[in-house]
Amino acid sequence: MMRTNEAETQIAAAPPLHMIDIIRKKRDGGALDEREIRFVSDGAASGSIPQEQLAAWLMAAWIRGFSLDETRALTLAMRDSGEKFSPARLGKTAVDKHSSGGVGDKTSFLVAPLAAACGVAVPMISGRALGHTGGTLDKLESIPGYRTALSLDEFEAVLRKCGASIVSQTPALVPADRVLYALRDRTGTVENPSLICASILSKKLAAGLDALVLDVKTGSGAFLRDVQQAEFLAALMVATAEMAGTRTVALLTDMGQPLGRAAGNWIELVESIELLRGKRPAESEDLRELSLILAGWMIYLGGQADTPESGYERAETALMNGSGLRVFLGMVEAQGGGVSVFDDAEKFHKPGATEVVNARESGFVTEMDTTALGWAVQRLGAGREKAGEPVDPHAGILFHARRGAQVERGQPLATLYATTPAQLAEPRAILERAINISKAPPDAVALVSRIFTRDSAEKYLQNAIR
Amino acid sequence: MMRTNEAETQIAAAPPLHMIDIIRKKRDGGALDEREIRFVSDGAASGSIPQEQLAAWLMAAWIRGFSLDETRALTLAMRDSGEKFSPARLGKTAVDKHSSGGVGDKTSFLVAPLAAACGVAVPMISGRALGHTGGTLDKLESIPGYRTALSLDEFEAVLRKCGASIVSQTPALVPADRVLYALRDRTGTVENPSLICASILSKKLAAGLDALVLDVKTGSGAFLRDVQQAEFLAALMVATAEMAGTRTVALLTDMGQPLGRAAGNWIELVESIELLRGKRPAESEDLRELSLILAGWMIYLGGQADTPESGYERAETALMNGSGLRVFLGMVEAQGGGVSVFDDAEKFHKPGATEVVNARESGFVTEMDTTALGWAVQRLGAGREKAGEPVDPHAGILFHARRGAQVERGQPLATLYATTPAQLAEPRAILERAINISKAPPDAVALVSRIFTRDSAEKYLQNAIR
């Protein structure tokens, strides 16, 4: 009998956790403590908690929400669920940029080499095309031979050699996110700021970053079209990452039209390489400007400039003097890619079918439904309907008129590139509906509408929660 | 191209349903239509919808709730998810009684034979011990040879012969409920009035009942201790079953103490058979009274009495003249049970260990924590911790003093029956904490506090929802 009592006392001191109790607590709107959240994250990673219990917990969390403390606890627990990368031994400050996803968003190909050329290390773990948005890895894989699936040792070797490396997530990194992300996709629990924050930041923090620049999109092509939702997510991510010791800034940037003139895979690299070569086409001006702003913040947070503005200047110099181009081509080569395709990048472009879409009336290009344009790009073959499907490197859309442009009836608006001629009709119809031409020019839209640093993020969250 | 357009038109006329859309709709607080709810129920029954999607949907439903229309649609969809029983060909009105579960609740053994003796058919599909509550099937299986798992043909044959039959659910009946119920248990989505209503009524409606009497427990031993929650569930079930064409009444009855003097398996049958033999022990008076009230409603709704009160009188006559006893023993025999054990029912009781618990002070028995008493019964061996575990037919508790009784210090309060002596200590401690003895007598508690018929149920729900 004494034995039994002793055992009971021990159990009372550290009661074992049960997933059913954690589900009920969140269901009833309670706040979970760090131990409970770590139990869920570890159980997701190891498979010890069955999918249906995780699904019920995710739905309860989606509806009831998480506090800042819970969001931070989930982010850190997920970060710790697998292997980690340690860039500290590179001897440089490690800085990454993350975008919330958009159409024609190819800033990674510019900011990674520009920041690396200015002395910071850029260990960038990227994603694939999802829904209406493109994927950095899919774009890079249109370079013959480019390998995105590097081991952590290979990743480190490329970083040592080139200063930047863009790779895919390894299976060992943040396994809790892999399980929860796939479940969220199937259970209607994707669009929750805390779950998004934990998913993004757990991966970034597991990469051991010193600093992080977040590009949170707003406007018709953003995942979060509501400006307040985008602001809340941006502030939440900054506050959470800063609490975890990573210097972080978030820029709210315009995705009210595709970024730059190309949306697809190879054609986005063509546009990027042109800028890295110091050219300055008018239709790529927003891409150039945003890339320099983001790279400026990376260089500043990485300690290689005293202000974001002087970081911008350093980045622009690296753009104009070709040092960014050299980092980019070096990285491509180090990851197995053939750089000769960039000798005549436009010639390498061999789409299966091409069609020019002309303006049906004269006027100003006003609104662009950028999410619809993203779906048109996907339907042309550049994206995928389901994870694992192949993409066509040559498919996509080149936009000849950007928002605010004055066009004449019959003037080319865009060129569509598809795998087969049969794939042109639907994207063409989408595009014609998505681009609005009016008699009056549109109001100007700021490229960067708001910037959150730690202080402004914390202040915003205090007001938002009140 | 014409073909494609035609196909698209057809798809537009009846768009295919996707579980992810139904989850999101409920997540966002939307109302699901009949087609969407049937899609979920059918998908649960067939296995075409994965467990994690059902789990997320259940949690969204638990938190957001269902309207009356949604509750009715779910009940009917689940009813239709498998085989059905058709008592119509019995040539009698089919009436059942369902209890929300309690401690010492053995009214089924009285109401089924009494109502059958008065001319209605009682096709009763019962359940097993769960948590702190006992199970009608476990109690019946303490009769050597009694078979609860009859085929629908065997069920019909017993009903034809005896007028009543108490069996377990067949796997083919309401498969959607089997899947959803098991999931709810694992995902913290049990205690929701609409889900409870649909689970209970789908099974009752699949049994083809003409009328149904619901015994919804309130007080310290009820699943829903909150009176308003119990009232809401009772009204919801009456309104839903009536909408489906089954005449239904719900009685809110007291579970503030165990019903009758025995809680266990065989000892509950002993108490029941004593009443069926016309005896009237003071400690079984509440059981006798409630059984006659419930049977009276069954006889009235089954068209064999003009009022519930005259139904009560007919039931009492069947109790006193032995016709109820004959139906009960006939049913036991028809289902393979040996009736000779009832010749000396107390002698058949062979518990492994016995202990009498005496009052520690003098006074009145006031409150009884009946849920705790139910757990004590379970720990003695009469119930189970997990589905599928065996139960001890001889374990349980006999209560010698009921609520309101005046007891002297040292006077026996209860006798515990366990499988082994080691199993006595914990239940004894639970029992001593659960029974409160005070100087002043308790206020009287009504056995039946409220009755819902169709009109009063609909009126209640209108006010509750406003």
* Contact status of A50 with chain B (Cβ, < 8 Å): yes
Residue B389 scores a pLDDT above 90: no
Are B59 and A59 within 8 A, CB to CB?
Answer: yes
**Would you call B23 an interface residue with chain A, using a CB distance cutoff of 8 Å?**
yes
Q: Chain B contact for A54, CB < 8 A? A: yes
B56·A58 Cβ contact <8 A? yes
Average pLDDT over residues B123-133: 84
Confidence at residue A389, expressed as pLDDT on a 0 to 100 scale = 86
Domain holding A425: CATH number? 3.90.1170.30
Residues A222 and A278 in one domain: yes
CA distance A29 to chain B (A): 10
Using a CB–CB cutoff of 8 Å, tell me whether A27 touches chain B. Answer: yes
At residue B3, the pLDDT reads: 40
Residue from B24, B59, B385 whose CB has the most chain A CBs within 10 Å, to mutate? B59
Q: Compute the C-alpha angle A142/A146/A151, nearest 5°.
A: 135
A30 and B CB contact within 8 Å: no
Query: In 3-state terms, what secondary structure has residue B91?
Result: coil
Looking at the structure, tell me whether residues A326 and A434 fall in a common domain: no
- CATH code of the domain in which A25 resides: 1.20.970.10
Residue B27 contacts A, CB cutoff 8 Å: yes
Decide the pairing of beta strands A95-99 and A211-218: parallel
Which of B24, B27, B188 is nearest residue A56 as measured by Cβ atoms? B188
Residues B187 and B247 in one domain: yes
How far, in Å, CA of B278 to CA of A117, rounded? Answer: 98
Question: How would you write A116-150 as a 3-class SS string?
Answer: HHCCCEEEEEECCCECCECCHHHHHCCCCCCCCCC
Output the pLDDT for position B127: 81
Give the per-residue pLDDT at A88: 86
Whether chain A has a CB inside 8 Å of the CB on B60: the answer is: yes
> Do residues A176 and A42 touch, judged by C-beta distance below 8 A?
yes
Cβ count within 10 A of residue B68: 17
Q: What is the predicted pLDDT for the residue at B52?
A: 96
pLDDT at B385: 79
Q: Is the pLDDT of residue B10 over 70?
A: no
Q: Do A55 and B53 touch (CB under 8 A)?
A: yes
**Residue B33: inside a domain:** yes
Cβ neighbours for A421, distance < 8 A, ≥ 6 positions apart: A352, A353
Q: Is residue B430 domain-resident? A: yes
Nearest CB among B24, B62, B188 relative to A188 is that of: B24
* Same domain membership, residue B134 and residue B20: no
Confidence tier at B171 by pLDDT (50, 70, 90): confident
Active site residues of A: 98, 177, 184, 199, 203
B20, B50, B58 ranked by CB distance to A56: nearest: B58
- A225 to chain B, closest Cα gap in Å: 17
Please indicate, yes or no, if residue B133 is contained in any of the structural domains. yes
In this structure, the answer to whether residues A113 and A209 fall within a common structural domain is yes
Chain-chain contact of A187 with B51 (C-beta, under 8 angstroms): no
Gyration radius of chain B over CA positions: 23
Q: Is A17 within 8 Å of chain B by CB?
A: no
**ipTM associated with this complex:** 0.84
**B12/A383: higher pLDDT:** A383
**Residue among B23, B63, B183 whose CB faces A187 most closely:** B23
Average pLDDT, chain B: 93
**Quick check: is A75 in a domain?**
no
Residue B74 lies in a domain: no
Whether residue B204 is found in the same domain as residue B244: yes
Percent of chain B having pLDDT more than 70? 97
pTM assigned to the model: 0.86
* pLDDT higher than 80, residue B130: no
A187 with B56: Cβ contact below 8 A: yes
CATH code, A99: 3.40.1030.10
Residue A18 touches partner B, C-beta closer than 8 Å: no
Find, in chain A, the residue whose alpha carbon is nearest to that of B53.
Answer: A187
**B333 pLDDT more than 60:** yes
The answer to whether B165 and B335 are in contact (CB under 8 A) is: yes
Does residue A354 share a domain with residue A275?
A: no
Q: Which residue of A has its CA nearest to B60?
A: A59
Q: Give catalytic residue positions of B.
A: 98, 177, 184, 199, 203
Pairing mode of beta strands B353-358, B412-418:
antiparallel
* Alpha-carbon gap, residue A292 to A274, rounded angstroms: 15
- pLDDT tens for chain A, 466 residues long, are 334 444 444 445 567 899 999 999 999 999 999 999 999 999 999 999 999 999 999 999 999 999 999 999 999 999 999 999 998 889 999 999 999 989 999 999 999 999 999 999 999 998 887 778 888 999 999 999 999 999 999 999 999 999 999 999 888 889 999 999 989 989 999 889 999 999 999 999 999 999 999 999 999 999 888 899 999 999 999 999 999 999 999 999 999 999 999 999 999 999 999 999 999 999 999 999 999 999 999 999 999 999 999 999 999 999 999 999 999 999 999 999 999 999 998 899 999 999 999 999 999 999 999 999 999 999 999 998 777 889 999 999 999 999 999 999 999 999 999 999 999 999 999 999 999 999 999 999 999 999 999 999 999 999 987 5
Residues A197, A260: one domain? yes
Per-residue pLDDT tens digits for B334-358: 999 999 999 998 899 999 999 999 9
Q: What is the pLDDT of residues B428-439, one digit of tens each?
A: 999 999 999 999
Q: Which distant-in-sequence residues (6+ apart) come within 8 Å of A14 by Cβ?
A: none
**Residue A204: domain span:** 90-344+447-464
Task: Supply φ then ψ for residue B148, to 5 degrees.
Answer: -100, -20
- Average pLDDT score over residue span B44-51: 96
* CB of B210 closer than 8 Å to CB of B95: yes
Say if residue A101 is in the same domain as residue A56.
Answer: no
pLDDT at A14: 67
Count structural domains, chain B: 3
Which residue in A has a C-alpha nearest to residue B22's C-alpha?
A188
Say yes or no: A408 contacts chain B, CB-CB below 8 A: no
Chain A residues touching B52 at Cβ < 8 A: 51-52, 54-55, 183, 186-187
| Interval B138-153: pLDDT, tens | 999 999 999 999 999 9
Q: Is the pLDDT of residue B205 over 70?
A: yes
Helix (H, G, I), strand (E, B) or coil at A329: helix
Of B27, B50, B187, the CB nearest to A56: B187
Q: Which helix (H) or strand (E) holds B249?
A: strand B247-254
B247-254 and A412-418 as β-strands: parallel, antiparallel, unpaired?
unpaired
Mutation target for B interface from A59, A180, A191: give the one with most B CBs within 10 A.
Answer: A59
> Is residue B27 assigned to a domain?
yes
For chain B, give the number of residues: 466
Residue A153 lies in a domain: yes
Phi and psi torsions of A418, nearest 5°: -125, 170
Q: Which residues in chain B are closer than 8 Å to A28, comparing Cβ atoms? A: none
3-state SS, residue A218:
strand
Q: Given a cut of 70, is residue B83 above it in pLDDT?
A: yes
Is residue A56 in a domain? Answer: yes
Mark whether A235 and A133 lie in a shared domain.
yes
Give B-chain residues touching A56 at CB under 8 angstroms.
55-56, 58-59, 187-189
Closest residue of chain B to A22, computed from CA coordinates: B188
Per-residue buried b or exposed e for B416-435, using 16+ beta carbons within 10 Å of the residue's own CB: bbbbeeebbeebbebbeebb
Q: Is the domain of A120 the same as that of A231? A: yes
CA–CA separation, A275 and A217 (whole Å): 22
* Cβ–Cβ below 8 Å for A63 and B60: yes
Paired with B357 in beta bridges are B414
Chain A residue with minimum CA distance to B27: A63
- Which of A64, A80, A106 marks a domain boundary? A64
Rounded CA-CA distance A104/A135 in Å is 10
Q: Which two tokens stand for residue A94?
A: 């490690």
Task: Note whether A195 contacts B: Cβ–Cβ < 8 A.
Answer: no
* pLDDT number for residue B5: 43
Are A365 and A235 members of one domain?
Answer: no
